[in-house]
């Protein structure tokens, strides 16, 4: 696997979209290539940060308003 | 729809409230407009409930309604979505990954260890809209590429490409800010 292939596959892996047949070649490449491994770790860390930091708490008044809409009030 | 089915339908769509509010905040950037958008989305969902089959993907269906409702609101107000990126980000977005690497050593390798919530949110706000939408739907909302393709009405290959490039732009953007902060110390 080339570094370019690894870059493409690592995003799909992080998204949970990589085909099973590409898993092992990707992992083997990441074990051998320090540069791609660093990029992979950073991208995975970035995805976790995005997921954690982009959450918003629903205001209680909105929950009430939506419940009223569903009840047809 | 029978009363049992109606109750199941309502429970199912209500279970997506938190995700919908998160997406509405991403689209509107303020809690008042986001709350209005969520309520409009539920009103539309009730109006179109016959189009929905119980047990199918309620999340993707509701997100599609929300996005269309938002776009219609923007059109009616004759406003463009906010947060379009600066020219250099647009320039970056047109480059392939290999071209990005030609810009020099990847500065992102040393970053991300002390990122702040505000940095992440601001970086996402600064992404070009087409990249922002796909990254948020994938990384924040957890939709599959196929679901995102359905919500945004674009080919799955475009979804994949935008997610890859969007994340790469984010890494470079955050690294750039971190370097500026370091130089300013």
Distance CA A22, CA B147 (A): 22
Contact A46 B174 (CB under 8 A): yes
User: What pLDDT, on a 0 to 100 scale, did the predictor assign at position B83?
Assistant: 42
DSSP letter at B49 equals G
User: What pLDDT, on a 0 to 100 scale, did the predictor assign at position B45?
Assistant: 92
Q: How far is CA B29 from CA B57, B94, B95, in A?
A: 26, 26, 28
User: What pLDDT, on a 0 to 100 scale, did the predictor assign at position A73?
Assistant: 65
The CATH topology of domain B3-77 is Rna Polymerase Sigma Factor; Chain: A (1.10.1740)
**Who among A8, A53, A61 is closest to B121 (CB)?**
A53
Contacting residues of A for B144, CB less than 8 Å apart: 16-17
**Who among B17, B39, B120 is closest to A50 (CB)?**
B120
pLDDT digits (tens, 9 = 90+) for A52-63: 888 889 999 999
A34 interfaces chain B, CB cutoff of 8 Å: no
CATH C-level class of B87-184? mainly alpha
CATH 1.10.1740.10 in chain B, residue ranges: 3-77
User: What pLDDT, on a 0 to 100 scale, did the predictor assign at position B101?
Assistant: 46
Q: What is the pLDDT along chain B (185 residues), one digit of tens a residue?
A: 667 778 888 888 999 999 999 999 988 989 999 999 999 999 999 998 888 777 778 899 999 999 999 988 887 776 554 444 334 444 444 444 444 444 444 444 444 555 667 788 888 888 898 899 999 999 999 999 999 999 999 999 999 999 999 999 988 888 776 666 555 54
A59 interfaces chain B, CB cutoff of 8 Å: yes
User: What pLDDT, on a 0 to 100 scale, did the predictor assign at position B91?
Assistant: 44
pLDDT digits (tens, 9 = 90+) for B42-96: 999 999 888 877 777 889 999 999 999 998 888 777 655 444 433 444 444 444 4
Task: Count the helix, strand and coil residues of chain B and give each as a percent rounded to the nearest 5.
Answer: 75, 0, 25
CATH 1.10.10.10 in chain B, residue ranges: 87-184
């Amino acid at each position: 696997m080339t570094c370019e292939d690894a870059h493409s596959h690592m995003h799909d892996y992080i998204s949970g979209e990589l085909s099973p047949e590409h898993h092992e070649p990707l992992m083997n490449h990441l074990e051998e290539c320090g540069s791609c491994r660093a990029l992979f770790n950073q991208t995975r860390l970035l995805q976790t940060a995005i997921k954690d930091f982009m959450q918003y708490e629903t205001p209680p008044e909105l929950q009430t308003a939506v419940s009223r809409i569903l009840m047809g009030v | 729809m029978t009363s049992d089915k109606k109750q199941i339908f309502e429970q199912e769509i209500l279970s997506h409230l938190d995700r919908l509010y998160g997406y509405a905040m991403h689209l509107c950037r303020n809690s008042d407009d986001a709350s209005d958008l969520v309520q409009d989305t539920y009103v539309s969902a009730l109006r179109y409930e016959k189009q929905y089959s119980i047990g199918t993907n309620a999340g993707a269906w509701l997100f599609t309604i929300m996005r269309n409702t938002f776009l219609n609101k923007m059109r009616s107000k004759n406003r463009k979505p906010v947060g379009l990126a600066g020219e250099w980000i647009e320039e970056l977005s047109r480059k392939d990954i290999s071209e990005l690497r030609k810009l020099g050593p990847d500065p992102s390798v040393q970053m991300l260890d002390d990122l702040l919530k505000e940095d992440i949110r601001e970086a996402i706000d600064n992404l070009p809209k087409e990249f922002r939408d796909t990254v948020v739907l994938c990384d924040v909302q957890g939709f599959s590429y196929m679901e995102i393709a359905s919500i945004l009405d674009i080919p799955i290959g475009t979804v994949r490409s935008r997610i890859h490039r969007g994340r790469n732009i984010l890494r470079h953007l955050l690294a750039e800010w971190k370097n500026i902060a370091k130089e300013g110390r």
